[in-house]
Amino acid sequence: MPKSVIISLAASFLLGGSVLAHKDHTSHEHSSNAEDSHQENNHQQAVPSPITQIAVKVSRPLEKDKEVLTTITLTSKKNGKAINPVDLKEVHTENVHLLVFDQTLNDYQYIHPTPSSKPGVYTFTWTPRREGFYRMWADLVPTSTNQQEYAVVDIPATVKEIYPVEKNLTSKTIEGELTYTLSFDKPSPKVGESLLGEVNIVDKEGNPFQNLEPVMGTFAHIVAVSEDFQTVEHVHPLGAENPKPMERGGPKMQFHITPSKAGYLKIYVQVQIQGIQHFIPFGIQVAP
pLDDT tens digits for 224-276?
999 988 888 899 999 878 899 999 999 999 999 999 989 999 999 999 999 99
Residues 115, 98: Cα–Cα separation, whole Å: 13
Residues 203, 107: Cα–Cα separation, whole Å: 25
User: Which of the given ranges, 8-17, 30-39, 98-107, 158-167, has the highest pLDDT on average?
Assistant: 98-107
- Given a cut of 70, whether residue 14 has pLDDT beyond it is no
3-class DSSP state for residue 191?
Answer: coil
pLDDT recorded at residue 6 = 30
The end-to-end CA distance of the chain, in Å, is 49
Taking alpha carbons only, the member of 236, 256, 229 closest to residue 44 is: 256
Higher pLDDT, 146 or 29: 146
Q: What percentage of the chain carries pLDDT values higher than 90? A: 65
DSSP state of 213: B
Range in 10-24, 95-109, 208-222 with the lowest mean pLDDT: 10-24
Residues 146, 126: Cα–Cα separation, whole Å: 29
* CA triple 218-223-228, angle to 5 deg: 170
Instruction: Give the alpha-carbon dihedral of 215, 220, 225, 231, to 10 degrees.
Output: -80
Taking alpha carbons only, the member of 21, 26, 24, 25 closest to residue 40 is: 21
- Edge-to-edge, what's the strand order for the sheet holding 97-102? 108-111, 97-102, 134-140, 149-155
Q: What is the pTM of this model?
A: 0.79
User: What count of residues does the chain have?
Assistant: 288
> Span 92-120, mean pLDDT?
96
Q: Are 151 and 11 in contact (CB under 8 A)?
A: yes
Residues 167, 282: Cα–Cα separation, whole Å: 9
Q: What percentage of the chain carries pLDDT values higher than 70? A: 82
Residues 102, 252: Cα–Cα separation, whole Å: 29
